[in-house]
Chains A and B, each alone.
Chain A
């Protein structure tokens, strides 16, 4: 690692040591929730004139190589991509490999998230074609970075934080490569139709607006106009038609299944009961949902309770699945404000139901806007790898320090009226409630409830919630009590793995400040649990 990559460690307001410079750029250390408001103007792409573009609107080029060349590919270019195609994506890797073949070096890849299918980017980093990744890393990419092999420092951002970074000019995208399940020759594009349909294309929206150059890559070219158009052709430079942008079976799952794990079901039920008994579940309320095991199951329990109480939610934010779509169709929820579309039922719904709306990180999560949806949601149910006795939580690293997950919308959702972490109290003998998390991803003052199979801990800052559920028969316990019980089961406090004093990545807070540092791991534990994919 070159000396300039990370330097000048300071202790931030979360008490964590963070670098003052990352990849040559000066950083503001985290200063507390709502404490940092930058001045100045947003970044903007160069002015373009329609006179430079075909008057008939046909921006098609024969292939990606031509498009990259015409976009001015050179050494050090930052190329962005979105992750709506998830583990089925073929476009991001092809773009980087094409750029490498064209001789480009020191590229920066700026994905909205990476997946195991992007593992070959390691070869591009080894060959020098790609310098580093600014975005979530997990699986093999996460291990590569965790072991200090990446030349630049990884920068992990939330979905909202990625928009903020682009908008505030922290990251400048030279070329955005946008995989589009449907597009027309003008560059209007959408994700709701086509054989590679993925639903919303919201993660690509910032890229389309702020990048110097924008390439739309599609395997479903339709005659103008492509309706609806979440990506506007007026922001697009070139359109490339390819045989396939990805593997549909890996883009969305056929049907999303609710977990059968008894422990997860118990946690899910406790979460739903908490929402009901605390009074959060009332007519017109709203909540955040996802596609994880507990996130799905808690919605199922909650729906039953909503029916029983004759209560309707005004809207649901989040990842959409068949379960959410069923609730929408039953009239139990007014709208789905969709950030990510996870299964085929949800894809069909977003394409056909006017109450199922594609959103973007700008509307939902961007902290540097004139408000965002995240803080208007009554309850968010999220996961975590670790949570400490001060309710600080970790979602990016495993307890052994390896990068495990991206942040996704997790940090943004913490601004909900009631943030609930639904987690098992231990996994494979590894306690989830710890004295101090390995990596702070979310400050404890924003985390209200930790729901485990052994009971629910409410943050002492939320006396209102403590009062609301008093005498309701829920297993409310202090977080220290839960921790002590689990340590007794597991055979004492777990030892803290030793990490090298060398940063490999930083975790950004939603306002662009540096919240924590991910340190290089010493060595691998070959019998550690398998790392999972996803954001």
Chain B
């Protein structure tokens, strides 16, 4: 917005939230001024402990964003530094300033890069504009956290959430959890990718995918950003199929790119598309789920189930998860940390099943060692597919930590 010569058009921007019921967030009101440097009005719950630290941070962030003269009012509800930086940047950007500049928080050391076929039993949804849930999310032991920029973020807050998620990807230690981000549908999702991709998310979830072409658009953007900024860690994709058309195109979507590690489905939107109610039993989505499982296996990617919406009904979740595992899914989403452990239990092989599989694997390895083509266990001959399934099961149990790496039969390494 070019200023008309001679007329002062001092720009303003606000971001974030404050109030009695808000925790770990802040409200920023930013107002550009012509001269006089930076003037900070700070009211904080933690004023006595971190007042000076916050004032210093405000100056540092504004300096990084190239702002020299401004009035900035902050109402802080105990926000952590990465949140403060994101909200100030959002306020400044909403004022139309700091284009092309970012105030990135200090980065934490990341866990090892994600493997394409790593365990993805549970992914914990974190609303992208709710910073209070971020800092402890990894402590609950999910296989992945998913910072959501899509449905849980109001349209008017997309820009601010994007910066918050970007900062969280850098500054929050999510432990061994895989760092996932659900972007918005394109084209809005392209702006998400610009901020997110340079911070090396492990997986990007793409919502409402109906055709392979949508994947190509995302892949093109991810490729060009990673090359431009030099991201070396792998970034996997997980398309979400949420419509009848998407389900029909499941295989084409699952094979659209080598970056795809898994496909999943969204049952709220899917049932809405069908115009039917989403029931606890889920018979209305049985076909869609089976279709996703089949397409995923055909494409050699993981099939991941939707979420179970009733947090209180832990028995229902366990049953759903067990059925889901039996169908061929490898994991599902969580909307509350209490669901994580239950889902892990649901997707764990039953002890007797695992014991049998271990015996089969041992018999197979013994047959290999003795040069026998036929594997037998006791008096029974074991078919090749049975061996294959047992090998997969044992490998999976090992990843889950249910059986120790060392103790696994026949593992020469």
Contacts and interface: CB of A to CB of B under 8 A. Distances in A.
Interface of A: 260, 262-263, 265-266, 399-400, 427-430, 453-454, 489-492, 494-495, 497, 525-530
Contact of A266 (B57, B79, B140): B140
Contact of A525 (B23, B48, B140, B311): B48
Interface in B59-101: 75-81
A530 B21 CA distance: 11
A262 B338 contact: yes
Interface of B: 20, 23-24, 43-53, 57, 75-81, 133, 135-136, 139-140, 311, 336-338
B337 A265 contact: yes
B50, B75, B140, B336 — which one has the most chain A CB atoms within 10 A of its CB? B50
Contacts, number: 77
A262 B80 contact: no
A495 B80 contact: no
B337 A428 contact: no
B48 A428 contact: no
Given A429-B79, A491-B80, 17 more contacts: A260-B336, A262-B336, A262-B338, A265-B338, A428-B45, A430-B46, A430-B49, A453-B136, A491-B81, A492-B50, A494-B46, A494-B49, A497-B48, A497-B49, A525-B45, A527-B47, A529-B45
A122 B83 CA distance: 40
A454 B136 CA distance: 8
A495 B337 contact: no
Tell me if B's interface is mostly helix, strand, loop or mixed: mixed
B24 A453 contact: no
Given A262-B336, A263-B136, A526-B43, A490 B50 contact: yes
A527 B51 CA distance: 12
B272 to A, nearest CB: 28
Contact of B48 (A263, A266, A495, A530): A495
Contacts of A427: 78
B311 to A, nearest CB: 8
Contacts of B76: 527
Nearest to A455: B139
Contacts of A489: 80, 135
B344 to A, nearest CB: 14
Contacts of A453: 136, 139
26 contacts: A260-B336, A262-B133, A262-B140, A262-B336, A262-B337, A266-B140, A428-B23, A428-B24, A428-B46, A429-B46, A429-B49, A429-B78, A453-B139, A490-B50, A491-B57, A491-B81, A495-B48, A495-B49, A495-B50, A495-B52, A525-B45, A526-B43, A527-B43, A527-B47, A527-B76, A530-B20
A491 B82 CA distance: 10
Given A265-B338, A527-B43, A495 B135 contact: no
Contact of B51 (A262, A265, A430, A495): A495
B136 A262 contact: yes
Contacts of B23: 428
Contacts of A262: 133, 136, 140, 336-338
B300 to A, nearest CB: 34
A3 B99 CA distance: 63
Contacts of B53: 491-492
B109 to A, nearest CB: 12
Nearest to B84: A491
A430 B140 contact: no
A265 B78 CA distance: 22
A529 B57 CA distance: 22
A427 B47 CA distance: 14
Top 4 closest A-B pairs, CB basis?
A428-B78, A494-B49, A262-B337, A429-B78
Contacts of A497: 48-49
Contact of B49 (A263, A399, A526): A399
A452 to B, nearest CB: 10
A102 B371 CA distance: 105
Contacts of B80: 429, 489-491
A262 B311 CA distance: 12
A147 to B, nearest CB: 15
Contacts of A265: 337-338
